Amino acid sequence: MVRLPSLLDNDFYKFTMQQCVVRQFPRARARYQFINRGEHRFPEGFAEALRASVEQMGSLKLTAAEKHFLADTCPYLDPVYLDFLQGYCYDPGEVTVVQDGADLSVTVEGWWYRTILWEVPLLCLISENFYLLRGGQRLDDAGVVQRTKEKIEAYNKLGVTIAEFGTRRRHSYDVHRLVVETLKQHGGASFVGTSNVHLAMQFRTRPIGTHAHEWFMFHAARYGFKMANQLALAHWVDVFRGDLGIALSDTFTTNEFFAVFDKKYAKLFDGVRHDSGDPLLFAQKTIDHYTKLGINPLSKTITFSDALNYEKVARIADFCRGRIGFSFGIGTNFTNDVGLTPMNIVIKMAEALPEGESWTPVVKLSDEPGKHSGDPDMIALAKKVLRIGHD
């Protein structure tokens, strides 16, 4: 059975968002849904194996050493939240797993402040169980180390900063651990940290992340599409007061984001994250936006994180160098480059229930139409309200 080693074996932005939800939306509920983008066929008995892995999640607890690490490394996580996290435990009853032939359905439902932590661990468990049950020979440990070493040394020569973002679609925990250990040993000035909090603690590097699409998606359910970006940014600032200042830009398309990313927010936030669409078009649009506001683009940073490899990183760096700050978060290309086909799977918030309201479908309208997610009628409504595709 696949087991996760720690409550902190999760992406950092799940914890930073959880602090915000605990403080600002403690009575909101959420539903999440597994999306099999790669149309993978799951072997017989997969649901039982996954269910067993989910059940063991209920035994994970934050240790005293882990709490000390968070308090020491992340002072913007307040003591009240860390006490809450120390008392938190996963409830496997919030997760439903159903297999119909080779098709898999996974849903999560419960209080948002609780269910927000399920997404990334579930994807890890789906991925590792998939490779375990399907069989297939991965690259051996020495090969994983060598391949990772060659990649980070190439990025070093390129003169760029790289964070490891590969938790959710990793081949396995063992591969992930080897990758981060190798990046730490050979990364030099290029390797700046990992999104995985457990491995950041283990290898004494920086946990990296801010927020995800669900933060903005919930705000659309609570306040409407027109106000979602603005209030999501405002509430983030209310909690973190200038820390964790990279804003995700493409929940309802970048054009809509920049319409509300005025001088106030452009100065408050350190930069933006690119996660869909043409990265060079995005970079130019971002440079133009800061310039129009009278802000030197070189004082800001774009974090690129969309399906990156060396060729894409080199092309982006060449375009941005001397024009705007830039960094990169690389995921699957680090943690699932082992000679087997990487999985293409996600778990997204599907519906939200703000306090005193009714269940509302939530959507994401990325800069790449193929990555839109959510109820088709709600996607159409969001496009109409935001005049996406209209003159």
Could you give the dihedral angle defined by the CA atoms of residues 95, 62, 69 and 190, in that order, rounded to the nearest 10 degrees? -30
| pLDDT tens-digit readout, 321-347 | 999 999 999 999 999 999 999 999 999
Q: Are strands 95-100 and 29-35 parallel, antiparallel or unpaired?
A: unpaired
The residue written with tokens 């092309």 in the block is 315
The number of angstroms, rounded, from the C-alpha of 156 to the middle of its chain's C-alpha atoms is 24
User: How many angstroms separate the CA atoms of 35 and 191, rounded?
Assistant: 31
> Tokens 């100065």 sit at which residue?
267
178-189: pLDDT as tens digits? 999 999 999 999
- How far is residue 182's CA from residue 253's CA, in Å, rounded to a whole number? 36
The answer to whether 76 and 243 have CB atoms below 8 angstroms apart is: yes
364 touches 195 (CB < 8 A): no
Q: What is the pLDDT of residues 184-221, one digit of tens each?
A: 999 999 999 999 999 999 999 999 999 999 999 999 99
Identify the sign of the CA torsion 74, 121, 85, 219. Answer: positive
Q: What are phi and psi of 32, to 5 degrees?
A: -120, 155
Mean pLDDT of the chain: 97
Q: With a threshold of 0.75, does the pTM exceed it?
A: yes
Show the tokens assigned to 347. 């778990």
Which positions ≥6 away from 312 have C-beta within 8 Å?
279
Q: What percent of the chain has pLDDT over 90?
A: 97
Structural domains for the chain: 13-136+345-374 (3.20.140.10), 141-335 (3.20.140.10)
Residue among 150, 203, 179 nearest 334 (CA): 179
What pLDDT score was predicted for residue 368?
85
CA distance 311 to 155: 10
| Pick from 100, 97, 96, 1: nearest CA to 41 | 100
Q: One digit per residue, pLDDT tens: the chain, 391 residues? A: 899 999 999 999 999 999 999 999 999 999 999 999 999 999 999 999 999 999 999 999 999 999 999 999 999 999 999 999 999 999 999 999 999 999 999 999 999 999 999 999 999 999 999 999 999 999 999 999 999 999 999 999 999 999 999 999 999 999 999 999 999 999 999 999 999 999 999 999 999 999 999 999 999 999 999 999 999 999 999 999 999 999 999 999 999 999 999 999 999 999 999 999 999 999 999 999 999 999 999 999 999 999 999 999 999 999 999 999 999 999 999 999 999 999 999 999 999 999 999 999 999 998 987 678 899 999 999 999 999 875 4
Residue of 197, 150, 198 whose CA lies nearest to 334: 150
Model pLDDT, residue 390: 55
Q: Is the distance from CB of 60 to CB of 8 less than 8 angstroms?
A: no
